Amino acid sequence: MLPAETSPAAAPGVRPEIGPGPSILICRPNTRLGNTLLLTPLVEELQNTLPSARIEILSACPAAREVFQEFPGVRRVHELPFRGARHPLRYVGTLLRVRRTRYDVIIDPCPNSWTARFLTRWLAGRLKIGFSTARSKPGVDVSIPFQGAPRHMGAYPVYLARRALFHLDPKASHADEVTLSVRLTEAERAAGREALRRLLGAEGSGPVIAVATHATGVKRFALPWWRALIAEVRARLPAARFVEIRPPSGQASLPELPGFSSRRTREVAALIEAAECFVCADSGLMHLAAATDALTVGLFKVTLPELYAPRRGRSCALSASDSAPQAAGERLAQLLR
């Protein structure tokens, strides 16, 4: 059991002076790749506004270090074990190590995470900021109403920082469209292009479309659906070439397509960016693609596009139905033209 809260907090509503180079902890102990990537606009905002800030991130996502490794302001990622209940000593040891630092600012960017709010309260910080909702618990120094925040999950942490940390009004806090980013290096991009060249060979010059069929639960589309979508695109764009992005295990869902698999998140991102287009259901891979320069088409049938849609360049959300793969293929071909 964690010890009780002992670090003093500022009085409610009081905002201590944090200085030009504060130490900042983003408290997001979540395991999902997508939720981790959705923090990148917040990190960009902090770096742009406070270039000397020393940012640390508390995460349970195994890929978190890869996601943030090219952000110069991120000094450290504290990685909780992926399944904390199976590794209680590592879990508690990581938290105790984080708690030894008294941060200038701790940010709880999630409006509905009990764990993030509990840890934000328990960790040591001069200024703690977060959202107030019907479900959130008290315990932060500056609490911003979630009502009125942007809907997209990549945008509302930026809104929180602008209002609670930079003292902007609600209208100014909404300004600018936020985008995800993994900041691929030129060497990584070149490696991605070379990996794609090896997969496809020298033949053909049509657009390359990368697809990933795996997704969680009801967000997944059946394999016959994917084959029907691919057939529709090929009927409209005969030169189109397809590759499959496979899970780290390498297991193929569409063995008739050339496939790529890697346990390195950044290698997968680089290959996706090398293709003209990436298509998958709403998933962590969709957010990874949306954090690159690839045209990303997210297929949505149960989740809300306004919350999760890929937002970068011409990337878009496409409402899709289990019964209409041809309609999705037609729309995809239009986008590629």
Instruction: Tell me the pLDDT tens digit for each residue of 32-75.
Output: 999 999 999 999 999 999 999 999 999 999 999 999 999 999 99
Give CA angle at 224 (220, 225), nearest 5°: 55
CA 267/CA 102 separation, integer angstroms: 35
Closest of 120, 165, 168, 157 to residue 15, by C-alpha: 165
Q: 23-173, what's its fold?
A: Rossmann fold (3.40.50)
Average pLDDT, the chain: 91
How large is the average pLDDT for residues 20-26?
Answer: 93
Q: What is the pLDDT of residue 134?
A: 75
Given a cut of 60, is residue 256 above it in pLDDT?
Answer: yes
Q: What is the pLDDT confidence band of residue 17, given thresholds at 50, 70 and 90? A: low
For residues 33 and 288, is the Cβ–Cβ distance under 8 A? Answer: yes
Largest CA distance in the chain: 67
Distance between alpha carbon 81 and the CA centroid of its chain, in Å?
Answer: 19
Given a cut of 50, is residue 249 above it in pLDDT?
Answer: yes
Distance between alpha carbon 104 and the CA centroid of its chain, in Å?
Answer: 25
Q: Do domains 23-173 and 186-336 have the same CATH topology?
A: yes
CA 203/CA 213 separation, integer angstroms: 25
How large is the average pLDDT for residues 108-118?
Answer: 93
Q: What is the pLDDT confidence band of residue 332, given thresholds at 50, 70 and 90? A: very high
Strand-by-strand arrangement of the 54-59 sheet: 74-79, 54-59, 23-28, 103-108, 125-132, 142-145
- In the block, residue with structure tokens 């509503």: 13
- Helix, coil or strand: residue 300: strand
CA 164/CA 141 separation, integer angstroms: 10
Query: What CATH class does 186-336 carry?
Result: alpha beta
Domain ranges of the chain: 23-173, 186-336
Given a cut of 50, is residue 288 above it in pLDDT?
Answer: yes
